[in-house]
Amino acid sequence: MTDTLTAQERWIRRYRPAPQDTDLSLVCFPHAGGSASYFRPLADALAPVADVLSVQYPGRQDRRSEPPRTSISRLADEILAVLETLPRRRLVLFGHSMGACVAFEVARRIEQGTSLDLLGLVASGRTAPPEVRDRGVRSMDDAGVVDEIRRLNGTDERLLLDADVVEMILPAVRGDYTAVESYRYRPGPPLRCPISVLVGDDDPQVTLAEAAEWREHTEGVFTLRDFPGGHFYLAEQQAGVVRALTEDLAEFRRAARRDA
Protein backbone atom coordinates (compact mmCIF):
# COMPACT_ATOMS: atom_id res chain seq x y z
CA MET A 1 0.00 0.00 0.00
CA THR A 2 2.72 2.45 0.97
CA ASP A 3 4.40 1.85 -2.39
CA THR A 4 1.49 3.63 -4.08
CA LEU A 5 1.70 6.73 -1.86
CA THR A 6 3.70 9.84 -2.64
CA ALA A 7 6.44 10.95 -0.28
CA GLN A 8 4.17 13.72 1.00
CA GLU A 9 1.41 11.23 1.76
CA ARG A 10 3.79 8.98 3.66
CA TRP A 11 5.52 11.67 5.69
CA ILE A 12 3.01 14.49 6.22
CA ARG A 13 -0.36 14.56 8.01
CA ARG A 14 -2.78 17.48 7.81
CA TYR A 15 -5.63 17.18 10.32
CA ARG A 16 -7.39 20.43 9.45
CA PRO A 17 -7.80 22.18 6.09
CA ALA A 18 -5.27 24.92 5.49
CA PRO A 19 -6.71 28.43 6.02
CA GLN A 20 -7.26 30.07 2.65
CA ASP A 21 -5.76 33.38 3.77
CA THR A 22 -2.44 32.11 5.17
CA ASP A 23 0.90 31.56 3.50
CA LEU A 24 2.42 30.02 6.64
CA SER A 25 2.94 26.33 7.42
CA LEU A 26 3.80 25.11 10.91
CA VAL A 27 5.62 21.78 10.58
CA CYS A 28 5.51 19.64 13.76
CA PHE A 29 8.10 16.97 14.65
CA PRO A 30 7.18 14.33 17.29
CA HIS A 31 9.17 13.00 20.23
CA ALA A 32 10.87 9.59 20.38
CA GLY A 33 8.21 6.92 19.99
CA GLY A 34 5.66 9.59 19.08
CA SER A 35 3.51 9.95 16.00
CA ALA A 36 2.03 12.73 13.93
CA SER A 37 -1.31 12.42 15.74
CA TYR A 38 0.28 13.75 18.95
CA PHE A 39 -0.08 17.22 17.42
CA ARG A 40 -3.72 16.88 16.42
CA PRO A 41 -4.98 19.07 19.31
CA LEU A 42 -2.52 21.80 18.30
CA ALA A 43 -3.63 21.49 14.70
CA ASP A 44 -7.23 22.06 15.77
CA ALA A 45 -6.34 25.04 17.95
CA LEU A 46 -3.99 26.72 15.46
CA ALA A 47 -6.02 26.05 12.32
CA PRO A 48 -7.16 29.70 12.02
CA VAL A 49 -3.61 31.06 11.86
CA ALA A 50 -1.46 28.43 10.11
CA ASP A 51 -1.47 25.36 7.92
CA VAL A 52 -0.41 22.81 10.55
CA LEU A 53 1.49 19.83 9.16
CA SER A 54 2.62 16.90 11.33
CA VAL A 55 5.51 14.66 10.38
CA GLN A 56 4.92 10.91 10.53
CA TYR A 57 8.18 9.06 11.07
CA PRO A 58 8.48 5.49 9.72
CA GLY A 59 7.81 2.55 12.02
CA ARG A 60 4.55 3.63 13.70
CA GLN A 61 0.79 3.72 13.13
CA ASP A 62 0.10 3.55 9.39
CA ARG A 63 3.86 3.31 8.70
CA ARG A 64 4.40 0.43 11.12
CA SER A 65 5.53 -1.91 8.35
CA GLU A 66 8.48 0.35 7.53
CA PRO A 67 11.72 0.15 9.52
CA PRO A 68 12.23 3.08 11.90
CA ARG A 69 15.09 5.41 11.06
CA THR A 70 18.03 5.17 13.45
CA SER A 71 19.82 8.35 12.35
CA ILE A 72 18.81 11.97 12.95
CA SER A 73 20.76 13.00 9.86
CA ARG A 74 18.90 10.54 7.66
CA LEU A 75 15.56 11.66 9.07
CA ALA A 76 16.46 15.31 8.45
CA ASP A 77 17.57 14.60 4.87
CA GLU A 78 14.40 12.66 4.03
CA ILE A 79 12.07 15.21 5.62
CA LEU A 80 13.81 18.10 3.89
CA ALA A 81 13.30 16.39 0.54
CA VAL A 82 9.56 16.14 1.29
CA LEU A 83 9.28 19.76 2.43
CA GLU A 84 10.85 20.88 -0.82
CA THR A 85 7.88 19.37 -2.68
CA LEU A 86 5.29 21.42 -0.76
CA PRO A 87 3.57 24.44 -2.27
CA ARG A 88 5.75 27.49 -1.75
CA ARG A 89 4.82 28.58 1.76
CA ARG A 90 6.81 30.17 4.52
CA LEU A 91 7.76 27.58 7.15
CA VAL A 92 8.04 27.47 10.93
CA LEU A 93 9.45 24.23 12.38
CA PHE A 94 8.24 23.03 15.79
CA GLY A 95 9.81 19.97 17.40
CA HIS A 96 9.32 18.37 20.80
CA SER A 97 12.13 16.40 22.49
CA MET A 98 13.75 14.27 19.78
CA GLY A 99 11.62 16.23 17.34
CA ALA A 100 13.43 19.43 18.33
CA CYS A 101 16.70 17.80 17.33
CA VAL A 102 15.28 16.71 13.96
CA ALA A 103 13.69 20.11 13.35
CA PHE A 104 16.98 21.86 14.15
CA GLU A 105 18.87 19.73 11.64
CA VAL A 106 16.19 20.36 9.00
CA ALA A 107 16.43 24.10 9.71
CA ARG A 108 20.21 24.01 9.24
CA ARG A 109 19.81 22.24 5.92
CA ILE A 110 17.19 24.74 4.74
CA GLU A 111 19.47 27.68 5.48
CA GLN A 112 22.48 26.01 3.89
CA GLY A 113 20.91 26.41 0.48
CA THR A 114 17.33 25.61 -0.51
CA SER A 115 14.46 27.58 -1.98
CA LEU A 116 12.42 27.17 1.22
CA ASP A 117 11.56 30.26 3.26
CA LEU A 118 12.22 29.46 6.93
CA LEU A 119 10.74 32.00 9.35
CA GLY A 120 11.67 30.38 12.65
CA LEU A 121 12.35 27.33 14.80
CA VAL A 122 10.49 26.36 17.99
CA ALA A 123 12.35 23.80 20.13
CA SER A 124 10.51 22.13 23.00
CA GLY A 125 11.71 19.87 25.82
CA ARG A 126 15.23 19.42 24.47
CA THR A 127 18.74 20.38 25.54
CA ALA A 128 20.60 22.57 23.08
CA PRO A 129 23.28 20.96 20.92
CA PRO A 130 25.94 19.78 21.48
CA GLU A 131 24.60 18.50 24.83
CA VAL A 132 23.63 14.82 24.62
CA ARG A 133 21.34 12.95 27.01
CA ASP A 134 22.46 9.36 26.53
CA ARG A 135 20.84 7.06 29.10
CA GLY A 136 21.57 4.03 26.95
CA VAL A 137 17.87 3.36 26.41
CA ARG A 138 18.59 1.91 22.96
CA SER A 139 20.53 -0.94 24.63
CA MET A 140 18.04 -1.70 27.41
CA ASP A 141 15.86 -4.78 27.44
CA ASP A 142 12.15 -4.35 26.79
CA ALA A 143 11.33 -3.84 30.48
CA GLY A 144 13.97 -1.12 30.72
CA VAL A 145 12.58 0.72 27.70
CA VAL A 146 9.07 0.58 29.20
CA ASP A 147 10.42 1.93 32.49
CA GLU A 148 11.96 4.86 30.61
CA ILE A 149 8.61 5.58 28.96
CA ARG A 150 7.00 5.54 32.41
CA ARG A 151 9.68 7.86 33.81
CA LEU A 152 8.76 10.56 31.30
CA ASN A 153 5.05 10.11 32.02
CA GLY A 154 3.90 10.65 28.45
CA THR A 155 2.01 7.42 27.80
CA ASP A 156 -1.21 6.16 29.37
CA GLU A 157 -0.24 3.49 31.93
CA ARG A 158 -3.08 1.28 30.70
CA LEU A 159 -1.36 1.01 27.32
CA LEU A 160 1.93 0.01 28.94
CA LEU A 161 0.14 -2.83 30.76
CA ASP A 162 -1.11 -4.25 27.46
CA ALA A 163 1.54 -6.67 26.16
CA ASP A 164 0.26 -6.46 22.58
CA VAL A 165 0.47 -2.66 22.58
CA VAL A 166 3.96 -2.72 24.06
CA GLU A 167 5.12 -5.24 21.46
CA MET A 168 3.71 -2.98 18.73
CA ILE A 169 5.34 0.27 19.87
CA LEU A 170 8.74 -0.94 21.08
CA PRO A 171 10.49 -1.17 17.68
CA ALA A 172 9.73 2.49 16.92
CA VAL A 173 10.69 3.61 20.42
CA ARG A 174 13.98 1.72 20.32
CA GLY A 175 14.76 2.97 16.81
CA ASP A 176 14.07 6.57 17.81
CA TYR A 177 16.24 6.32 20.91
CA THR A 178 19.02 4.87 18.78
CA ALA A 179 18.76 7.93 16.53
CA VAL A 180 18.64 10.56 19.25
CA GLU A 181 21.20 9.00 21.61
CA SER A 182 23.73 8.54 18.82
CA TYR A 183 23.22 12.07 17.44
CA ARG A 184 26.33 14.22 17.50
CA TYR A 185 26.23 17.90 16.62
CA ARG A 186 28.52 19.03 13.84
CA PRO A 187 29.67 22.60 14.48
CA GLY A 188 28.45 25.19 12.00
CA PRO A 189 27.14 28.74 11.73
CA PRO A 190 24.14 29.70 13.87
CA LEU A 191 20.73 29.89 12.25
CA ARG A 192 19.73 33.23 10.80
CA CYS A 193 16.10 32.71 11.77
CA PRO A 194 14.76 33.31 15.32
CA ILE A 195 14.56 30.47 17.83
CA SER A 196 11.86 30.10 20.47
CA VAL A 197 12.29 27.50 23.21
CA LEU A 198 9.53 25.98 25.36
CA VAL A 199 10.20 23.77 28.37
CA GLY A 200 8.47 22.28 31.39
CA ASP A 201 9.84 23.62 34.68
CA ASP A 202 10.01 20.10 36.14
CA ASP A 203 11.33 18.31 33.06
CA PRO A 204 13.77 15.53 34.04
CA GLN A 205 15.34 15.71 30.58
CA VAL A 206 16.31 19.39 30.43
CA THR A 207 16.86 22.23 32.89
CA LEU A 208 15.99 25.86 32.21
CA ALA A 209 19.71 26.68 32.05
CA GLU A 210 20.24 23.97 29.44
CA ALA A 211 17.24 25.16 27.44
CA ALA A 212 18.65 28.71 27.47
CA GLU A 213 21.76 27.47 25.65
CA TRP A 214 19.71 27.33 22.44
CA ARG A 215 20.45 31.08 22.35
CA GLU A 216 23.89 30.24 20.92
CA HIS A 217 22.30 28.74 17.81
CA THR A 218 20.66 31.83 16.33
CA GLU A 219 21.68 35.24 15.05
CA GLY A 220 18.05 36.31 15.40
CA VAL A 221 15.67 36.91 18.27
CA PHE A 222 15.70 34.30 21.03
CA THR A 223 12.77 33.58 23.34
CA LEU A 224 12.56 31.15 26.27
CA ARG A 225 9.31 30.25 28.02
CA ASP A 226 8.76 27.75 30.80
CA PHE A 227 5.50 26.04 31.74
CA PRO A 228 4.38 24.11 34.81
CA GLY A 229 4.93 20.41 34.27
CA GLY A 230 7.35 17.73 33.22
CA HIS A 231 8.62 16.45 29.90
CA PHE A 232 5.12 16.25 28.42
CA TYR A 233 3.89 19.59 29.72
CA LEU A 234 2.41 20.16 26.23
CA ALA A 235 -0.66 18.08 27.03
CA GLU A 236 -1.16 19.64 30.47
CA GLN A 237 -0.60 23.23 29.34
CA GLN A 238 -2.20 23.18 25.89
CA ALA A 239 -3.88 26.59 26.17
CA GLY A 240 -0.62 28.26 27.21
CA VAL A 241 1.34 26.47 24.49
CA VAL A 242 -1.17 27.56 21.85
CA ARG A 243 -0.83 31.17 23.03
CA ALA A 244 2.96 30.91 22.93
CA LEU A 245 2.98 29.45 19.43
CA THR A 246 0.51 32.05 18.19
CA GLU A 247 2.79 34.77 19.57
CA ASP A 248 5.83 33.13 18.00
CA LEU A 249 4.21 32.89 14.58
CA ALA A 250 3.30 36.58 14.71
CA GLU A 251 6.79 37.58 15.89
CA PHE A 252 8.46 35.45 13.23
CA ARG A 253 6.38 37.22 10.59
CA ARG A 254 7.37 40.63 11.96
CA ALA A 255 11.03 39.64 12.03
CA ALA A 256 10.85 38.47 8.40
CA ARG A 257 9.34 41.82 7.36
CA ARG A 258 12.05 43.73 9.22
CA ASP A 259 14.76 41.70 7.52
CA ALA A 260 13.23 41.92 4.06
Whether 31 and 96 have beta carbons less than 8 Å apart is answered as: yes
CA-based nearest residue to 106, from 55, 52, 33, 173: 55
- Residues with a catalytic annotation lie at 97, 231
- In angstroms, the first-to-last Cα distance of the chain is 44
**Tens digits of residue pLDDT in 144-171:** 777 787 777 767 677 766 777 778 888 8
Which domains, and CATH codes, for the chain?
2-254 (3.40.50.1820)
**Per-residue pLDDT at 225 exceeds 80:** yes
For residues 233-250, average pLDDT = 95
CA distances from 86 to 7, 8, 10, 70, 115 (A): 11, 8, 13, 25, 11
CA-to-CA distance for 209 and 42, rounded, in angstroms? 27
CA-to-CA distance for 42 and 50, rounded, in angstroms? 11
**Tens digits of residue pLDDT in 54-76:** 999 999 999 999 999 999 999 99
Question: What mean pLDDT value characterizes the chain?
Answer: 90
